[in-house]
């Protein structure tokens, strides 16, 4: 948080907290209707089922909980990141309660706080774009997507991609 404060984009700790609250937990309509049915946090860390497809769900913690409860079935993986231990990056395909996620990705073994901090940093510095970073000496990349409306900006999605 201190690094973000030192950037000069926010005048105070309370302004930064308000901005983070809005970015991650502000509600907006992902379905295009009047109902405020989504938030960046819900999409990225919990996942959503919309139109019979899984959307978001980029948290290994959520994936593990869904699997333990018998509601998730891993189908395959297409990318295993460069690290020999955790955290790592995993791209995978799965079914959640019978609904397909054709391709998703997650940092594997990282804390949700780390994920949120990295995704926030990428959103702030490269909103709606690919953000290349180096983690533990290895190249990594995060894709962010923004959502704007009524003069406000939200994190719509953020997830790791193979560099």
101 catalytic? Reply is yes
Which residue is catalytic, options 43, 99, 138, 145?
Answer: 43
Which residue is catalytic, options 99, 101, 123, 138?
Answer: 101
Q: Are 26 and 152 in contact (CB under 8 A)?
A: yes
50 catalytic? Reply is no
138 catalytic? Reply is no
DSSP of 89-152: EEEEEEEETTEEEEEEEEEES--HHHHHHHHHHHHHHSTTSEEEEEETTEEEEEEEEEEEETTE
Which residue is catalytic, options 50, 58, 123, 138?
Answer: 58
The catalytic site residues sit at: 43, 58, 101
């Amino acid at each position: 948080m201190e690094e973000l404060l030192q950037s000069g984009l926010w005048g105070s700790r309370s302004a930064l907290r308000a901005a983070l609250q809005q970015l991650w937990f502000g509600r907006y309509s992902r379905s295009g209707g009047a109902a405020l049915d989504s938030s960046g946090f819900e999409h990225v860390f919990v996942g959503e089922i919309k139109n019979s497809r899984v959307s978001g769900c980029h948290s290994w913690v959520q994936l593990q909980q869904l699997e333990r409860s018998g509601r998730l079935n891993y189908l395959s993986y297409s990318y295993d990141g460069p690290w020999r231990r955790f955290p790592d990056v995993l791209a995978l395909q799965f079914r959640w309660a019978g609904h397909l996620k054709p391709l998703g990705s997650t940092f594997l073994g990282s804390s949700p706080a780390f994920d949120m901090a990295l995704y926030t940093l990428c959103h702030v510095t490269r909103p709606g774009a690919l953000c290349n970073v180096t983690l533990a000496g290895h190249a990594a990349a995060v894709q962010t997507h923004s959502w704007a409306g009524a003069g406000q900006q939200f994190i719509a999605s953020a997830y790791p991609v193979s560099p």
